[in-house]
Structure formats: structure tokens, C-alpha cells
Homo-oligomer: A and B are copies of this chain.
Amino acid sequence: MSQFIAVDLGGTNIRVAYFPNPEPPPLTQSKTPTLASEGPDAVIERLSQAIEAQLPEDRKDLRIGVGAPGPLDPRHGMVLKAVNLPGWEMIPLRSILEVRFVCPVLVGNDANLAALGEWRFGAGQGTSDLIYLTISTGIGGGVIIDNKLLIGSWGLGAELGHMTVEPGGPICSCGQLGHLEAVASGPAIARSATARIEAGQPSVLKERLESNEKMTAVDVGEAAQAGDPLACEVIEQAAEYIGRHMADLAHAFNPEVFVIGGGVSQLGSLLFEPLERAFEAHLISPAYMMNLRIAPAALGDDAGLIGAMVLASQE
């Protein structure tokens, strides 16, 4: 039976866990600041030391799974470019770690691996066709089809946040217009609230804006929870975009379950109720609802780490 080191390489933290068996929980885990500004060599060295610290004495049948920001080429374990990691362009992460640790290393897109984690051990357990959306600073996606992770011909698939939902709409982090990420991510929610207040709509959030503090989706969520009409409207609009996009995705993928994670999903029923209404309203046939579930993610921040272990255990 194999044993696993799982790595979640993020813009803020590097998380590493040791799984003696192919299932959670890990026996040990650690969290190290990424200090991404120091560049790829320093980050890879730090990541490697974090792995070293958790290596078991007997390295028999050890495999390493790594989740990293995309776009990356999982077939070759190559990070093509990572927006949150300065200097990361065409970094052969898999090869570097294989040379250092002399064991099989698997690398995957972080959102894809979170999908894999939720499918195998989280909110999507027991399903064969799953769509995962993580709604946070960006919107990432992962798709399981017939018990297999969709990666596409070069591993660039499942970028479900970068699909057009409002043609000619707000500019997205990727430079295109009107993507789901541009209208329904955390920053998009904050921007939408700010724009409405600046246009003169009343809101409890107005004070915050006038005191020059940066508005966040958390602020908007709190105001909505307290019943502020503007904040409720903003969150409903984001939820409607997500729900309609999910209907479009249902027509493409016909999944059994949508798992929704990321910070914005913490809004709970404020988000999920209008989202579910919009989803059902945009389906072309009630047949798509057969056995379908929309579920909040169950693994929280551990989804990516667990998914990295699942990836390594599958190959």
C-alpha cells in the first residue's frame, strides 16, 4: 500500500501533509508562508524543506501529489504561469521534485484537485459526475466525468469561472469581458456594492466607503445578513449569474452534483436560495433535475490538500 505527501502551493501559504494511507485525515501537516515575492527558486526550496520535514523514515511506495495555481500542464507537471506567484513561468515542478525526492510526483491545478477531494471524500462522495465551483478572489472549477477528472488535451480544462455570462460586461482578471469571475467573485461583489453606493443608492455600507476602508465581499455579506437592501441585491445578482451559468453547465455536463466552495459560499442561504432559483429557472428540461444536488463544499480549506493525495493515489 502506498503512502503520500500532499502539497497545496498557494500564493500565501504552502501546506504539506503526510497521509500514511490513501484517506484523510493526514498523520501530520504543516503550514509555511509562501513568501512568493522571493521568486520560484526560493519557494521551491521552502516547499522541498517542508516536504523533507514530514517524510516518513521508510519511504517505501511514497508518492507526492502537488496542487499548484494554474494554468499548468498536469501531464508534464509544468506550471505555465501562476498569477499569484511572481516569476513562475514554465516551471517544471514535477521534474524538479522527482529529481529531489526520487519518487513519483503528480501535479494538478489547485481547483481541479479541490474538486477531486470533494468528490472522493467530501460533498460529492458516491457520485460519478460532479461539477465543483470555488467562489473566492477568483472563480475556479473542477469537473469529474464518469469518475474521472476532466483535464482536457493540455490540462487546461475546467476553467469554469472564465466563461462569458455577460457579454461586454466588467473586465475579468484574465483581461476578457463579462466572465463569471468578473461578476460573481468576492472582488466583483465588493465592486458592485461600491458602484451602487457611488451612484447614490442608500446602504449601511456607505459609511465604510466614506472612511476610505477597502470594501470586501465579507462586508457586503454582513450587511446583507443584517438586512441591508443594497447588499442583498448585490448578492442576489451574483447568485443569479452563478445559477444561470450552472444551468448552462448542466446542459453541457449533466452532472449529479454541483459542489460550491470558496469564501463567498460561506454566505449560506443568502447565496444558495437565489442561486437555486436561477438554476432551475434556466434549465431546458426538468430531466436535468433528476437526482441532482447542489451542495456546499464539505472539506473547507483541506479540499486541495486531500485532492492532491487522491491524485497521487490514482496514478
- Chain A residues in contact with chain B, CB under 8 A? 71, 80-81, 127-129, 141, 143, 145-146, 148, 150-160, 162-167, 174-176, 244-245, 247-249, 251-256, 282, 284-285, 287-288, 290-291
Contact = CB atoms under 8 A, between A and B. Distances in A.
Nearest to A178: B167
Contacts of A249: 252
Given A174-B284, A282-B176, A252 B160 contact: yes
A81 B167 CA distance: 32
A164 B253 contact: no
A165 B163 contact: no
Which of A81, A141, A167, A245 has the most B CB atoms < 10 Å from its CB? A167
Given A162-B284, A244-B164, A282-B176, A254 B152 contact: yes
A74 to B, nearest CB: 11
A251 B150 CA distance: 12
A253 B249 CA distance: 11
SS of A interface (majority): loop
Contacts of A244: 164, 167
Contacts of A146: 148
B254 A284 contact: no
B254 A154 contact: yes
Contact of A290 (B154, B160, B163): B154
10 contacts: A71-B285, A129-B152, A129-B153, A155-B254, A156-B251, A159-B251, A164-B282, A165-B167, A174-B285, A249-B252
A161 to B, nearest CB: 9
